[in-house]
Structure 1
Amino acid sequence: MARSLNKVELIGNLTRDPELRYTPSGIAVCTFGLATNRQWTTDSGEKKEDAEFHRIVAWNKLAELCAQLLAKGRKVYVEGRLQTRRWTGQDGAERTTTEIVINDMIILDSRLSAGSEDINVPEESPIDVPEYGEGKTPAKPSTAADSPVKKTATKKKVEEKRTITKVSDNKPDEESPDDDIPF
């Protein structure tokens, strides 16, 4: 049997916000529209442009990531395969759709340049910043119950006060100047 290839690569902009749903067995599926443009020059020198609209489908963890990170207007690269589905509608009519089932997605623009709103994050949302004591750090991520010492700070407080704690010395904590911090 001869080999064949079903591979699609597209770069375009989302035409609508992603829609995340779950199958009855709990598998995530996300759908969204993607527009691509084709430009060409006619024999008479006139420039033309044509838009093509694609139905994109992502499954499992990629579906959840698409729903979380993408929004209408974002420019993305998607890679996947073409799939045609047929079904009978509620009205008894046979229906067919061709969609691109993706297995990879790369965001090509920054969130600021997209045509959508940023995700709302409360200004005073707490983040946990562990303080490292003497000895070894845990090999696995620790939870609040695992950590004997934990410091809760807000984003603003973390950015206002940048300190470096020396773990290897038994000396008191020393504060480094702000220009010495690599971030």
Structure 2
Amino acid sequence: MNDVMVTVSGNVGSDPALHVNTAKNLQWSTFRMASTRRYRGENGDWTDGATLWFTVKAWRAAAANVVESVHKGIPVVVTGRLEVEEWTGPEGEQRTGLVIVATAIGVDATRGRVGFTRVVHHDTVPEDTLVDRGGLTATGPGDADPFGLDALGPGSAAELLRDEGDQGGEAGVGQRELVNA
């Protein structure tokens, strides 16, 4: 494998854009990222070096997560494959740019406080699984509430899950839900 893998820290320079190719059922997101080297000058003071600009691309499910999670101005750390993109500019000039095809994108917790919300994918439900009205799964007739969530009462997280579960497809199959971790 001769791919050039990089990890870059910097700031998001543009809000991510979501792109969709409906013919191929494919989605990706792109945003610009700036990384400025800082170093101590001869007098001992911190000095900014040159700023490098990258286009960051995320594919498939990560694309939607990036659009919801990353915004202009926040500090991020991006890991991925470095590529060079070439195109012709509006006046016919040849242009090039650095692109990172991301394998991981994270908010830089060394520069601020961050939160995390896991996205849970419900693609299939096994045939022998029973499902109660609230979307909670059980494996037998006496297990309608296998986690004891019914005892939590109104306004609890379980009640919210039940309310949201009634809006999806069959028992939430093919639906996504956010779970605080």
Same fold, TM-score > 0.5, yes or no: yes
SS state of the match for residue 25, structure 2? coil
Structure 1: how far apart are the matches of 2:41 and 2:71? 34
Provide Cα deviations, 1:94-147, integer angstroms capped at 9, x if missing partner.
3322211111122334xx968xxxxxxxxxxxxx956899612499xxxxxxxx
Q: 1:158 to 1:97 in 2, by over 3 A?
A: same
Percent identity, aligned pairs only, is 23
1:18-167 alignment runs, 5 A limit: 18-23=16-21, 24-50=23-49, 51-89=51-89, 91-109=91-109, 135-137=142-144, 157-158=155-156
Query: Deviation at 1:84?
Result: 1.0
Distance 1:69 1:132 in 2: 29
Aligned in 2, Cα 1:53/1:85: closer, same or farther, shift over 3 Å? closer
Question: How many Å separate the matches in 2 of 1:39 and 1:90?
Answer: 34
Specify the SS of the correspondent of 1:13: strand
Residues in 2 aligned to 1:49 and 1:88: alpha-carbon distance in whole angstroms: 31
Partner of 2:5: 7
TM-score by length of 1: 0.55
1:142-178 Cα deviation digits (max 9, x unpaired): xxxxxxxx9xx98xx337x9xxxxxxxxxxxxxxxxx
- Bigger drift between 44-53 and 99-108 goes to 44-53
Structure 2: which amino acid aligns with 1:12? Answer: G
Query: In the aligned structure 2, how far is the partner of 1:49 from the partner of 1:21?
Result: 34
5+ long unaligned stretches in structure 1: 115-127, 140-149, 162-183
- Calculate the aligned-residue CA RMSD, in Å: 3.7
Q: Is the 8 A contact 2:58 2:102 kept in 1?
A: yes
Counterpart CA distance in 2 for 1:85 and 1:132 is 47
Displacement after TM superposition at 1:12 (Å): 2.1
1:69-111 Cα shifts (integer Å, max 9, x gaps) = 11122222211011112234565443322211111122334xx
CA distances 1:11-59 after superposition (whole Å, capped 9, x unpaired): 2221221111113523112111222232212234343113433221111
SS of 1:73's equivalent in the other structure is: coil
